[in-house]
Structure 1
Amino acid sequence: MTKKRIGLLLALTLVMSVVFTACSPKEETPETPGETPGTETPGETPEEPSNEPSGTLKVGITEASGNFNPAYYSSSYDGYVVDLVFQGLATLNFEGDEYIPVVAKDWEISPDGKVITFNLREDVVFSDGEPLTASDVVWTYKLLSDPSYTGRYGSVVKDLEGYEAYAAGESEEFPGVVADGDYKVTFTFAEGKRTNFANTTFAIMPEHYYGEGVTYKNTAPVEEKSAAPVGSGPYVLDNFTEAQFIYLTRNDKYTGEGYMIKEILLQFVDQSTDIVQLMNGEVDLLAGVIEPAKIKEARDGGYSINEYPRSGYGYVNFNTEAGPTAEVAVRQALAYAFDTESFVNSYYKDPDSGMVLATTQNHPFSQISWVMSDELVSSLIDYSYDIEKAKSILDEAGWVAGADGIRAKDGKLLELNIAAMPEHDILATLIPMWEKAWGQELGVKLNISYLEFNTILDYVIYNSDANVDKWSLFFLATSITSADPDSIYSEFHSNDVGSGKDNTSRYKNAEVDRLLDEARKIMDPEEAKPLYAEVVKILNEEMPKIVVYANTYFDLYNSKVKNFNTSSLYGWVKAVRDAYIEE
């Protein structure tokens, strides 16, 4: 079965060898951006763009650590650079329901879903002029499988044939990814799984650059090149000045379609003034805005706005391994004593319409995930604010208030170490809520540690094993890049606990592991739904994560940016492919 594009669910289910496009049930299909004043709909082109890249797009960002290595980055802001500099074999289309070729020109999938063979384009070169070949694909996947690899993306390769022996250091042979000449590469998976195709689309890294000094069981030299990326994508990194800006220019060796904006400047902005910087022209784009007041100001100022359901949310992660939050009862009590609904109704209220632009939810799956339904949601524990229930849960668990009002158990105080970012708009609202409800009313001692963004990432991701006893909870936000519920696999599977890995709550549950492993083997999403529904219920009960808000995203941008179309699964970086600057 050779083809140039593949329906997303076809890529996931791999059950037939004929070409067709399947979609999720209608009510769960991601919506494209609605028509908002000043917003273009897909395919709408105000006027013909230049035939040559031109103009500068200035994008406001709040953070970036400077780690632009596809195999090691963690921050979504660093991910912007990675996605602009590197390419994979294929990517999702605007609707998020179909894979389309990028470095690959076509592919063939075996009827059992175990073998996927790609034919590569022969005109793709890296930004240093070296050709991209099948050996670079093989090298990238061997890097992720190496025994010494310490990054977050081991889940991409773990299902490949021969991974276990290669990753354990028992064999230098890796049959999971094999090159056949310069422009054909074959992936062989141990089992036919719904998730196999998605795992073939990782960013391709040049062996001649990143592989210098690398040997089997020694990948440290790769990590050392995290600040100077070399890829085959449409842009190259020109300058990164910490806490100020990231400057990218059009890759003159890029041979793909689109990307007619010549320069992209990622400008650091402050959350308290970013809308002012948009309005005065310091930046052209603020992506993923959530504050109603900023949206109103942009709307009143005649700026263009794209609106779509966010595939992601803001969340509190509990440390489920160490300290009081290792107890389910403590996490449940804190959830009941956290009035997320009041926060959402206040923080996300649109001053013009009175509408609330976000919701609460009692589960950690995306709003657009195909496992979620009204019936499933109604079956979950409702953690609506109930301080008396929270007190009762702690009483029953043996956490009793002392003379000073602070609860204790077996001689240990109910004490939470909260890792928080300074001068963060949402945390400036949440922390006083926690101090009142958790501290004053529930009898919990709160220790607030204000840490820079990169320090928090070091605590909970990069060096998490060494810092496990230093924190109880933190607040961050996340984007989920697929409607497939398997996208949360690495966040909750016990294999992904540890330094450099995604399970930052350090959550371990053997039944959740089993269900996640079994569900990804099921080709038909409808048949997989019951297993994922059980995962939803367990996570809802055990509460390793509180979703604080699940909101609508608003991309606010200058009207000189044309043909800029975003959606739940098609963020601004992908939208740059078809956008241009009207001079």
Structure 2
Amino acid sequence: MLYRKNKILAGILISLLSLSLLTGCGSTTAEIPTTATNQSSSEGAVLRYSVPSSPKGLFSPLLSNTTYDNNVNSLVYSPLVLLDENNDYKPGLAEKYTFSDDNLTLTFNLRKDIKWHDGEEFTADDVAFTFTSIADPKYTGSRFNEISKIVGAQDYHDGKADSISGIKVIDKNTISFTYTKVYAPALSNFSQRGIIPKHIWSKVSIAEWDKQSDLLNKPIGTGPFKLTDFKADQYVELVKNDTYFGGTPKIDKFIFKVTNTETELSELAKGDLDVVELTSTKAEDFKTLKDAGIIIEEKPSANYQFMTMNSNREFFKDKKVRQAITYAINRKGIVDSLLTDHGQVVNTPISLAGWAYPQSGLNSYDYSADKAKQLLKEAGWNDNNGVLEKDGKKFVVDLMVPTGNKVREQSAPIIQQNLKDVGITVNISTMDVASAMAKTKGEGDYDMGVLGFTLEVDPGDADRYWSSKIANGSQFNFSNFINTQSDELIEKGATTIDRNDRKEIYAKWGQILNEEAPYVFLYSQNAIHAHNPKLQGYKYSAYSVFPDIQNWTISK
């Protein structure tokens, strides 16, 4: 399980549209091209998709907080815009969007004649209801940050206003959102949140939404599939939506099957499963699947693992110490031995699968115990029979390791030995994810921790690095990183429209994080999917799990 900031806990992650379209003066309008077809499906076609853990049953895009619930929601509900496998926008519930001259107002023109799964008409009132609900003071979910920069959203959230003045329903097929200042990730946010039906959820108090098991287990959306059955710890069954606006799906039934990771590969090889997101990188497993005719695809992932160092501890206040620890850990060795080269070393917290990762200017911190020892000595740490000491204090620290990720767990003793080689004694403490999460909150009650994160859809949302997040008690500024220049660049990146300019800003920001080394950025394991050759048209990306699913086909 990966740590996510509140808005990322939602799981389904989607990349930002090339906002370079918005440069220059005047209103900017973009038509979203359509490639959907309306061919009939093969009768009786069933797709079985393996998941290692059961959804919780929070089948609402405003409440779900696991990947498994989010995957179901992405088939049931539709957002205003979609992404294809190349992270380009496709039509969702909106067929066109327009930015105002000052880039503060974003207007969506919605498709006409869309129906909810129960036959009711979809309108702009549903969109307004969805995003207003996220700001409601009684809302129990974690999505408010997505719309907090809309005019009036904060006042409504604080109970100081009866509505959000920045959300305007122009007519039943048109809605606009006005921001307090230019906000480049706006489209990104709208692409990751499905719209819920007002005619159903307005009848229930928002404070009670998460307790409505009848409504949650029988969700009504506008997506390509309808949920028909959910058995916790067993499966989720969905059937095609014949009136889906993107075209009737060619697969009649989609089943998420909860599968033991020890048996999923054999089930895939036998044809009892059709898609498996591989966690194994063993050569023998790859060979077995390929011998069975299984198709394996591998792409960069938005996920990465890192080791945080609590800068409130005296050990880690000196940048040279943090840099030394980065040099001391054989990150490439971890990738080679534990991922068998199915991953990449990461040197700054920007997604390798996105558009903003710097192509140059980063220190690669190639493994060097000698370089690490030199920096530690410069920082005043001296060797005393194999253990570093400074001012009479030995360099002995705890490393917390959350359970649930095998590669992460296996990397801990490697890190322990690497640091022992340069004179740092590390005691490993394993714990569940919730306990580790609690220790990172606020100023943090820990020394070091090996953690995971799903990187933002857009770097402009990297607000966990804001210095102010510490004072606000955020659990996501893990290292208690404080840097004014970093804050300024995050703000500039989020309020700059042209993507080329933004890439330069994030290159500078990435270099600061790389130089300051608040974390040891460890590795990003590739996203590896294996699927039945009978499944045709199958696609995925780091930010889109089921792109163009209405066009997938599978032989019976």
Which TM-score applies when normalising by structure 2?
A: 0.82
Which residue number in structure 2 is paired with residue 532 of structure 1? Answer: 506
1:285 deviates by: 0.8
8 Å Cα contact 1:261-1:581 kept in structure 2: yes
Say whether residues 1:438 and 2:412 are aligned partners: no
Q: Distance in 2 between matches of 1:512 and 1:147?
A: 31
Which residue number in structure 1 is paired with residue 295 of structure 2? Answer: 304
Q: Distance in 1 between matches of 2:169 and 2:383?
A: 65
Which residue number in structure 1 is paired with residue 549 of structure 2? Answer: 576
Say whether residues 1:8 and 2:8 are aligned partners: no
Change (3 A) 1:11 1:288: farther
1:152 deviates by: 3.9
Counterpart code for 1:370:
W
1:357 deviates by: 3.9
Q: Distance in 2 between matches of 1:126 and 1:399?
A: 65
1:551 deviates by: 5.0
- Post-superposition Cα deviations, 1:301-333, rounded to whole Å, max 9, x if no partner, equal 2112334x3142431252646656864645434
Which residue number in structure 2 is paired with residue 370 of structure 1? Answer: 355
1:57 deviates by: 1.4
Q: Distance in 2 between matches of 1:321 and 1:240?
A: 45
Counterpart code for 1:415:
V
Out of 460, 477, 490, which is 2:437 matched to?
A: 460
Change (3 A) 1:247 1:327: farther
1:338 deviates by: 1.6
Out of 124, 135, 149, which is 1:145 matched to?
A: 135
Question: RMSD of the TM alignment (CA)?
Answer: 3.8
Change (3 A) 1:70 1:15: farther
Change (3 A) 1:14 1:310: farther
Counterpart code for 1:360:
V
Change (3 A) 1:382 1:95: closer
Q: What is the DSSP-based 3-state SS (H/G/I as helix, E as strand, rest coil) of the residue aligned with 1:531?
A: helix
Counterpart code for 2:343:
A
Change (3 A) 1:366 1:380: same
Change (3 A) 1:580 1:49: farther
1:559 deviates by: 1.2
Change (3 A) 1:368 1:557: closer
Change (3 A) 1:499 1:389: same
Change (3 A) 1:421 1:403: same
Q: Distance in 1 between matches of 2:322 and 2:72?
A: 36
State the percentage of identical aligned residues.
24
Counterpart code for 1:346:
S
Change (3 A) 1:16 1:489: farther
8 Å Cα contact 1:414-1:445 kept in structure 2: yes
8 Å Cα contact 2:296-2:528 kept in structure 1: yes
Say whether residues 1:263 and 2:253 are aligned partners: yes
Q: Distance in 1 between matches of 2:31 and 2:399?
A: 49
8 Å Cα contact 1:387-1:442 kept in structure 2: no
1:407 deviates by: 6.1
8 Å Cα contact 1:14-1:112 kept in structure 2: no
1:556 deviates by: 1.1
Change (3 A) 1:119 1:407: same
Say whether residues 1:224 and 2:211 are aligned partners: yes
Say whether residues 1:418 and 2:428 are aligned partners: no
Stretches of structure 2 lacking an aligned partner (at least 5 in a row): 1-15
Out of 153, 156, 175, which is 1:166 matched to?
A: 156
Say whether residues 1:549 and 2:513 are aligned partners: no
Change (3 A) 1:502 1:448: closer
Q: Distance in 2 between matches of 1:194 and 1:561?
A: 37
Matches within 5 A, 1:309-324: 309-318=299-308, 320=310, 323=313
Which residue number in structure 2 is paired with residue 114 of structure 1? Answer: 104
Matches within 5 A, 1:145-544: 145-147=135-137, 149=139, 151-201=141-191, 202-214=193-205, 219-225=206-212, 228=217, 229-251=219-241, 254-287=244-277, 291=281, 293=283, 294-307=285-298, 309-318=299-308, 320=310, 323=313, 327=317, 329=319, 331-349=322-340, 356-374=341-359, 376=360, 379-394=361-376, 396-397=378-379, 405=387, 414-422=396-404, 424-439=405-420, 441-451=422-432, 456=433, 459-460=436-437, 465=441, 468-469=444-445, 472-476=448-452, 478=454, 481=457, 484-486=458-460, 489-494=462-467, 507-544=481-518
8 Å Cα contact 1:458-1:464 kept in structure 2: no
Counterpart code for 2:507:
A
8 Å Cα contact 2:310-2:446 kept in structure 1: no
1:491 deviates by: 4.2
Q: Distance in 2 between matches of 1:276 and 1:103?
A: 39
1:479 deviates by: 5.9
1:547 deviates by: 3.5
Which TM-score applies when normalising by structure 1?
A: 0.78
Change (3 A) 1:269 1:437: farther
Change (3 A) 1:522 1:393: same
Change (3 A) 1:388 1:20: same
8 Å Cα contact 1:333-1:394 kept in structure 2: yes
- Post-superposition Cα deviations, 1:376-422, rounded to whole Å, max 9, x if no partner, equal 2xx32232222344345445556667789486878687322413225
- Post-superposition Cα deviations, 1:19-41, rounded to whole Å, max 9, x if no partner, equal 6799xxxxxxxxxxxxxxxxxxx
Which residue number in structure 2 is paired with residue 352 of structure 1? Answer: none
Q: Distance in 2 between matches of 1:506 and 1:264?
A: 44
Change (3 A) 1:299 1:406: same
1:65 deviates by: 5.1
Q: Distance in 2 between matches of 1:84 and 1:64?
A: 16
1:340 deviates by: 1.0
- Post-superposition Cα deviations, 1:496-546, rounded to whole Å, max 9, x if no partner, equal 667897656564433222211112222222222332122101111233444
8 Å Cα contact 2:351-2:456 kept in structure 1: yes
1:51 deviates by: 3.5
1:476 deviates by: 2.8
Change (3 A) 1:581 1:136: same
Q: Distance in 1 between matches of 2:123 and 2:80?
A: 11
* Bigger mean CA deviation after superposition, 340-349 or 267-276: 267-276
